[in-house]
Amino acid sequence: MNGYRGRFAPSPTGDLHFGSLVAALGSWLRARACGGTWLVRIEDLDPPREIAGAAARMLATLHAFGMTSDEPVVAQSQRQHRYTTALEHLVERGLAFPCACSRKQLEDSGALHVAACMPPPLGTAHAWRAHCADIEIGFDDAVIGRYTQSLRRDVGDFVLKRNDGLYAYQLAVVVDDAAQGISEVVRGADLLDSTPRQIWLQRVLGLPTPDYLHLPLVLDEHGRKLGKSLASQPVDAANPLPALRAALRFLGQPDQLGCDDVNELLRCAATSFDITQIPASVPSRIAGISD
Ligand code: GLU
């Protein structure tokens, strides 16, 4: 194993479907092709959206598809203290502030958090938001190329901790990618426009910025993301080969028709894995933002 460390970080909000299989396979192949380590992290930050048993079923399905974490699986629900420390650090430096604005108030003020919400009256439930710098953040994605975003204009003061006490994905993912020494993040392009926020958080928290590779998104027939919440079909753990081949084709890779064994197919796919063949796609919602 060399210094490459990748990960697949599903939220346990449903069973593994084709879209999440593509993300798992893309990150696994990249890690194997680089001779590195592949980790699975369960992003169970949001209990109200969780489906009981989904995390265990996802891990079992990944196993049936020949992919198991090289190190013990980590669950974000067990790591709250790390997010607390990171948030405290930001608050101390004036980079996070309490905000009790409702969605309606924010709409009315054009999402501006000025004096109106600082500080919220004592005892008011409030979120913690990042004090976004007025800067452009860009990075070179291994598939998509250069992607740049103006944090203040395109995103605004984003939530780090919700007013129900739950930590937000943006903070947790940055803390955990650094804690796990992730050298490259491979994930779906729906998270492309989250990446500048994450790079900003890495910088202000003094954490390293990994490389990024965003995979094309699997869309349903209406052009919408194949979400776990939509009634998308779970992949069939009892018959992994057809879905694995389809996922390889989706990633622009040969579908290894000659291989009838899951592990052999994965081995061959890793050997011939070529990221220049992965179709680059920027979701239209995101393309609109950066125009
Ligand atoms: N947990 C996120 C999801 O399931 C993915 C996070 C990431 O890969 O950064 O959509």
Ligand 1 center–CA 77 separation, angstroms: 14
Predicted confidence (pLDDT) at residue 104 exceeds the cutoff of 80: no
Predicted confidence (pLDDT) at residue 36 exceeds the cutoff of 90: yes
Residues 42, 59: Cα–Cα separation, whole Å: 9
- For residues 27 and 112, which has the higher predicted lDDT (pLDDT)? 27
- Cβ–ligand 1 distance for 228 under 6 Å, the answer no
Which atom belonging to ligand 1 lies closest to the Cα atom of 20?
4
- Cβ–ligand 1 distance for 43 under 6 Å, the answer yes
Give the pLDDT of residue 105: 74
Q: Ligand 1, from 5, 175, 187, 197: best to mutate by most atoms within 8 Å of Cβ? A: 187
Q: Ligand 1, from 15, 169, 229: best to mutate by most atoms within 8 Å of Cβ? A: 169
- Model confidence at 14, in pLDDT bands (50, 70, 90)? very high
Q: Please provide the average confidence, as pLDDT, over all residues in the chain.
A: 90
Predicted confidence (pLDDT) at residue 114 exceeds the cutoff of 60: no
Cβ-based neighbour number of residue 100 at 10 Å: 16
Predicted confidence (pLDDT) at residue 225 exceeds the cutoff of 80: no
Residues 198, 195: Cα–Cα separation, whole Å: 5
Average pLDDT over residues 253-259: 93
Asked whether the bond before 279 is cis by omega within 30 degrees of 0, the reply is: no
- Cβ–ligand 1 distance for 27 under 6 Å, the answer no
Ligand 1 center–CA 194 separation, angstroms: 10
- For residues 287 and 73, which has the higher predicted lDDT (pLDDT)? 73
Q: Measured on CA atoms in the order 144, 147, 153, 156, is the torsion positive or negative?
A: positive
- Cβ–ligand 1 distance for 201 under 6 Å, the answer no
For the entire predicted model, the pTM comes to 0.92
Task: Write out the H or E segment, with its range, that includes residue 196.
Answer: helix 195-204
Q: How is residue 253 annotated by DSSP?
A: -
- Model confidence at 177, in pLDDT bands (50, 70, 90)? very high
Q: Which two tokens stand for residue 217?
A: 């998104």
